Amino acid sequence: MLKKFLKWFAIFAGVVILFLALFLFQPWAFLPHKHIEISLPFPESADATTSLIPMGETIEHNAANGNPNGHPGIDFGFMGVTPIIASADGWVFSAGKTDAGSIDISTYSGFYKIEYKELNTIEPNIRRFTKIKKGQLLGYTGRDKIIQGRPTKEDGSGQIHWELASSSLLIDRLCPVGYFDAESRRRIEQIWANVPSDSQFKKDFPDICSGVFKDKED
């Protein structure tokens, strides 16, 4: 009886491990496929006052704080409360509050994964496994007041941390610049151009994507 149980348990465990491996590594992501076309996750009306911390910078994101490859995404900082919208059609894998009090949303779009992190609010219809459309409102971030000193959890987030990645963990994060539609690419390049040339990030990391992420596509 015990041998039979152990046999079936081993089969079950093997199936679970295989399923998890396929989900995490997704070998089909290495097959030829059409690149996703994405848009910026906020409206153009916010562009003029939006700041940008580039992908791959190691000033604030480095091996000491668990980011050996540098900043794994792009931070967009906003002046005022700003709507966050879906960059592509897809479905919600997870959505909810973090220990820090902000809201993270993880979505899948075919061979790609898009992360929207550090939101202050989320729309009621954005729940796990729901479908989303490009341009759909996901929630809001940004502050409606000036913060004196270091912000607290109660002050909320003044930015969004945003990432594009392959659905395969073996490929992982990608530089989004080559995936933007023409208008969004123009917009992000203009936002980056508006960042003062003497800012620490721009002096040390002159490109939107640097280091191992520079020009990285699947």
- pLDDT on residue 25: 79
Please tell me the distance from the alpha carbon of residue 155 to that of residue 12, in angstroms, as a whole number.
47
Please tell me the distance from the alpha carbon of residue 28 to that of residue 121, in angstroms, as a whole number.
35
Please tell me the distance from the alpha carbon of residue 88 to that of residue 163, in angstroms, as a whole number.
12
Is there a contact between 87 and 138 (Cβ–Cβ < 8 Å)?
Answer: no
Query: In this predicted model, what pLDDT tens digit does every residue of 178-212 receive, in sequence order?
Result: 999 999 999 999 999 999 988 889 999 999 999 99
Residue-averaged pLDDT of the chain: 90
User: Does position 6 have pLDDT exceeding 80, yes or no?
Assistant: no
**Element of type H or E holding 183:** helix 182-194
Only one residue has tokens 């933007």, namely 180
Q: Which CATH number is correct for 42-146+155-209, 3.40.50.150, 2.30.22.10, 2.70.70.10, 3.20.20.150?
A: 2.70.70.10
Is there a contact between 89 and 109 (Cβ–Cβ < 8 Å)?
Answer: yes
* Rg of the chain taking only CA atoms, in angstroms: 19
Please tell me the distance from the alpha carbon of residue 134 to that of residue 146, in angstroms, as a whole number.
31
E-state strands within 34-185: 51-53, 74-77, 82-85, 90-97, 103-109, 112-119, 121-122, 131-132, 137-141, 159-166, 173-174
User: Does position 151 have pLDDT exceeding 80, yes or no?
Assistant: no
pLDDT band at 152 (very low <50, low <70, confident <90, very high): low
The domain segmentation of the chain, as residue ranges, is 42-146+155-209
Give the bridge partners for 209, in sequence order: 55
Q: Is the pTM of this model over 0.85?
A: yes
